[in-house]
Structure 1
Amino acid sequence: MTLDMFGLMGAYAAGSSREAAMSAYIVVLVILVCSYVSAHVLLYGLTTAQVSAPDAPERVERARKYLLIFATLAATVAYQAGLSTPGGFWLGSLENQHLAGDPMLRGNHPYRFMVFFYFNTTAFVASLVTIMLLMSRTVSRHGFRSSALWVCVGAAMVGLMGAFAAGSCRSFKTSIYVIALVGAVLLYITIQSMVFFSEPVKDWLHRAGETLQKCLKLDELEQRNQQQITLSNQGNGDAYLLLKKSRMYLLLLGILAASVTYQAGLNPPGGFWQSDGTDGYRHYLAGDPVLHITYHRRYMVFFYSNATAFIASLVILILLLSNMISTQGIKYCALQVAMILNLFGLIGAYAAGSCRQASKSVYVSVLVLPVFLYVGIHVLVFMLEVSPTWATWRVEVREKLKQRMPEWLKNLLELEEHVEEEEEEWKLEKRRKLLLLVAILAASLTYEAGMNPPGGFWQEKKSGHVGDPVLNNDNYRHRYLAFFFCNTTAFVASLAIIMLLVNRKLSARGIRSYALRVCVILVLVGLMGAFAAGSCRKVKTSIYVFVLVLAVLLCIAFQVALVVSGSLRRLVDSLLSKLGAPLEEDAALGLRVSGEGDECSLVEDEALVLLEEKQASWEELEEVFSVFDGDGDGFISPLELENVMRRLGLQHDAGHGECERMLKVFDRDGDGMINFDEFKVMMQGVV
């Protein structure tokens, strides 16, 4: 690890600058930061070893995990930005002016380049020092208590914001917007620091927060939310655990959104001019964004949207990493606003920067319309909750909608109420985490691919419009269109998944229904189609990709058919029955599992009736399986087995742990549950 860190620092010092003085700055900065942190941590550890009580291990480990994820991605984007300076590099040398490989930004905008370099270097070094501190649990614990780690994290955030403000634009007018956003975030960080070091400021802000809560009636909202969380987790979970899980999801989303918007801001779509010139009445310099001249309005929409998404992502990170007002209603409102701004910023930047024609932007807008509608409804519901005086009006509107809504639509929208047991909640959280990780990764990949499509951009006006995608010409137009539409579909579907999963109630209903499954299928199909269209240029080389994509699509279609069509499932079972051994004639009327010298007998009335026949068919056995499979997901969990026992009055004979042990005997794939194939083996192997 030490060699890795010093190797990264050495490579950054050598590759990010062309002068010895700038490389020396990096080395000196590393030495100063490491010396400060080491002295601060050691001094604090020695002076407080006998006074302060140790922090809770769970709290330290959780904060350590969050900061490690943030520092890793911050170091990654800062390293890439330092080696790939915004504006590009000179392709040729010019005597007494520049050499080939020198940054264009340094020649035409020297002060802006210096600001970008120093801020980006500060972010990179602070992130690496944070990672090194977090590798040791002892040092990280003292670092948290002495605030040394928080200083490094704050320096990394300030460095990223300063580098973004300096490197993402070229004129003072466009810099004002970013500077204003960065100033607002820096003001918030300053207030947080004053709260940490000054008790009077902390008390004053606490009183101001209480007054604001009373004016907006957020205290009542927070009490209702706490009551709902307590009721929904009564007897099987801790409300703090739920808050921690949601915090982790939002943190991952904020980090990855900040990463992709940082890269897109420093390297905007369309590339950079390779030489000075004029286009009509606009004059440009080498290293300026091409899109700013050729599609001025489109570039401005992209710039403001991307900058808004970047700053909103940093606000999400600051709110989630700060514990000063972690459970207050004001922070809840701030997270809601930051999430909405982040979403709108990403969508606006993608719609403006991924295409050059208005028709394609309209396609993106039509796709994101459902997402905008969802966000609007979410904001409306939130405002209704914030204003309890509208409660009567809200109830009346709900009743009128129920009366006028068609019966088929009501049946489609209304889902059966589920009492979330411990096992079911664990399964939902597991699926939610997996789907959210897939959606965040897909959104990041598709956003970057949309901003920088395969083939690059035209640099001259000979064969195409400068700044337009090279792939979008007469020879590969259909291939580019296939890539664009597939990539856009995957991007919008991934954003829809993220918005559904952030809301816990909607995520539970979406997982139980087919809404999220449809979105996941759209994401996977979109990614595969975009890769097949954009990764090659000839039909011969495309055949292999298309064959693989077709195989995956057939597999997905088969899985969907198994879920939707019961007749197809019975057909598969009949084919399996011809390949497997027949059921034993004397199949037991219940099931008995023996292990470790003791045995437990489980009998279900419905299963007893269905298994009275000597020759039980697969259809009957499937009905027996459905009796135990309470939620209909195709698996028998220990909790479902325990529920059957409870209905039979056998809960005292075997508890949850005993049911887990019993199912483990026939659990061949080790997932902790029994599927239908394992259930058939279990029924055949009954003693």
Structure 2
Amino acid sequence: MEATRTSVPQVSISYPQDSWAEFENIITEKENEAKKVDSKLVITMEDGMQASRVMHISSTHQPPLTNQMATSNIDSDGKLYELKDQLVLLATLVAMVTYLSGLNQPGGDWKPQEEGGHVTGDPILRDTHNHRYLIFNYCNATAFVSSVVVCLILVMLRRNSKVWTVLLWVVMLLDLVALMCSYGGGASRYALTTIFVMALASPILAYIVYTFIGYLSLTSHPDNIMNPRNTNTGYQEKEKIEVLMLLATFAFTISYASGLNPPGGFWRSTQKQEDGRLLHLAGDPIIHDRGLRRYQAFFMCNTTALVASLLIILLLLDKKLNRTISARFLAVYGLIAVALMGLMGAYAAGASRDTLDTAKVISLSAAVPACVFLQLALNNVFRWEVIKNMRDTFCLWSRKSSSAGDEALADPALKNTCFFAMVLASFAVCITYQAALDPPGGLWQDNLDGHKIGQPVLQTTNPARYWLFFYSNSAVFVTSLLVVMMVQSKFLLTLRTLVASMVLDLIGLVIAYAAGSARDASTSIYFVAMIGLVLVYAVVHIVFFIGGVNENVVAEAEQEKLEDKRQVLLLIVILVAALTYQAGLTPPGGFWPANDEKLGHRAGYPVLVDTYPHRYTAFLYCNAASFMVSVALILLVNHKLYWPALRCKALHVCMAVGMLALMGAYASGSSRDLKNSIYMLMLVVAVSVSLPLRLAIFWYIRPHRYSIRLQDGPRTRRQRVRGLGGIDKEKDEEIEYLMLLGILAASVTYQSGLRPPGGMWQEDSGAYFAGNPILHDVVKRRYDIFLYSNSASFMASVLTIVMLLPLTLTNLEWLRRCLPFHAADLKWPIWPVYTAILLDMLGLLVAYTAGSTRDWESTRNVICIIVPILLYIAAYAAVPIWMDTRRKHPRSPQSLSMESGRQMLPLFSS
């Protein structure tokens, strides 16, 4: 018995070797009984000494039997619980896009040159299309608050919590309905576009109602639920659904934001012809008057991508998808193709204004399927013996060059760190890329007083602050690109290098935010002090908590729950940090375009400072508090502190404060009148009151839930720990990394292509036309470099997504019937994906250097930033090794050299 116990240390149970046949008979009888009456098998266990008298079935022992047993034990909320990470990502991204859309509303803001009694910085849409403004404003605010509520529910969601699951479904469906209504109210101004949106939105709304009714029927008849999520095939299916959810979420959010702010900008004033007929209203899209067909093509393609991605999300979340996966399989991938084609069509229509540039962008779009067919051809060519041997030799050499990274990745802790480093680095690339192309303070609109049109205002008015922001932002961008390449190539990939890169990213973001969001030194100091206060509070809370808790006794199940919460919290705070970083650098209302000594306006300063000072102050400090709390939480949620911090609820308190500050910033920055402010405050108060009420309900029902959980029998665990599961699991994780990178790069290049650096002309002149890029007429060569590099990066990202989609297929029988010449492996090789990723990153770097600066000296400095960053990462990793070697130096050189080889891996993986 003792030998048996020690042979299976992770299973806390043993089986008597002399009665194994009798034990198998008992299991078979119980299994047949469970199939007949659909009952659960109650499992009890007291301790390891009584294991021979107690029957216990583990999730890691006897996998086939456990999978069958678990299928009958899955409740109706299993799928939502298993897709927790993806729902968190969906909710936070929706909160991000609605937050930014509420602060920078469609139609633009009134400028100081306009007459008619309008207050500078007020929304134009409120005066020209009041009904559309009200629909957009209230629906967008509802969607934002609903997304925040979804995040808070998901943090506390557990299995067998049917009340919370029904509430989650209601809030999610309300969120999606509000998003469709706000898009229709804010993106459309004309009859044709309104009819098009209504025609596409009506089936979506009907399907949402059908899905919710079907979900209620399933919860009322749990015997009809078939959820093989816990079988071996189910876990593979879950991994594929996660990747598809990731793609659909980003396609939905970028198409939503681009539809509300179409390329070319908006008219700043209402104009009429000489005979009195209306030409256009203020707030209408400029591109509609300059190129009607181009605008219609952009709007229809973008809206089609929005609706297709929303349908994908609904199909993937549908409970009955598990029973009819083969019937809806083609529908999901067909909608993905429609969404990608819609995004490429909208990009080609909106990224340029002349036919030649559009033709070049379309040629890049045509290159995507050409590369796919070329890949298929190369896949067959590489079966030739000579070329196959050359490829195998190159692959063997590349594996040897990254063998240290492969060995280090054997540690699950490093695997998890790699994943979140990839998430942080990818989002850092996105937000710093956009911040450099649209810098804080705005851009000059004229060539007066020694400045040039299209150059950053802050560079002239406050050069020290601007260059501090610019180089800090550029350092984060370059560092994040290096992290992405390190994770993918496994070169210099250790825990220390990842930590060094992440710390440098966070420090750079804090410095860039403090320099770009404020205009005086005291405010910048206050912002930096906020993160110190959060860290001090959390550490003090943890210290007092640890003093009264025996942290040496921790159940394995509790550790897994805490790890689950840690991952959810990390996703939320990373996305909130990205959101508030963008909003802080480009506050609502815009910036003053020029100095006005009579009125006291200063170029580059926020308009709301003078028009609504109290609202701006509330927005500024609430947004800064949310950003600094998010950065502090990223630092606190590590493997050293996360267990006591989560158990003592210190991180939950900080996250709740950050979310409330986020809603306060939205309420103060998105509205200018009392009515809208009251509505937003009511929503904020409702969420604030629900937090303590939710906690009270949770603590009240906790004992009852625990007693029910003891009677529920065995349940397979959520396989959330990375680095475990064999080669197939590692391949799925690799696909997830690459898909995340491709989707984020596609989203940022899509938005930047539609809104290029330098801004747009707002009025017609003899030398230019309204809606055209300023950089195109001022520095044509730099604009061409940016446009083609950004377009190449966007198309390479789409190519990456297209090449990864076949790797997400789980059932290839239908493909074999379509392609009978493939007899064996129909899945694509992954090596061309790395080529596309490399081109993608190079295109991003070139577009960043071309669009973020106006002189070649600054461009050279951005490229040279990579040298000190590499030196810093190398020093961070080398100094601890050198210190550890010096401590062991008194030994003989032979023993020291042998021991250093043995200690290298544990040092990097600890």
Higher relative contact order (CA closer than 8 Å, sequence separation 6+): 2
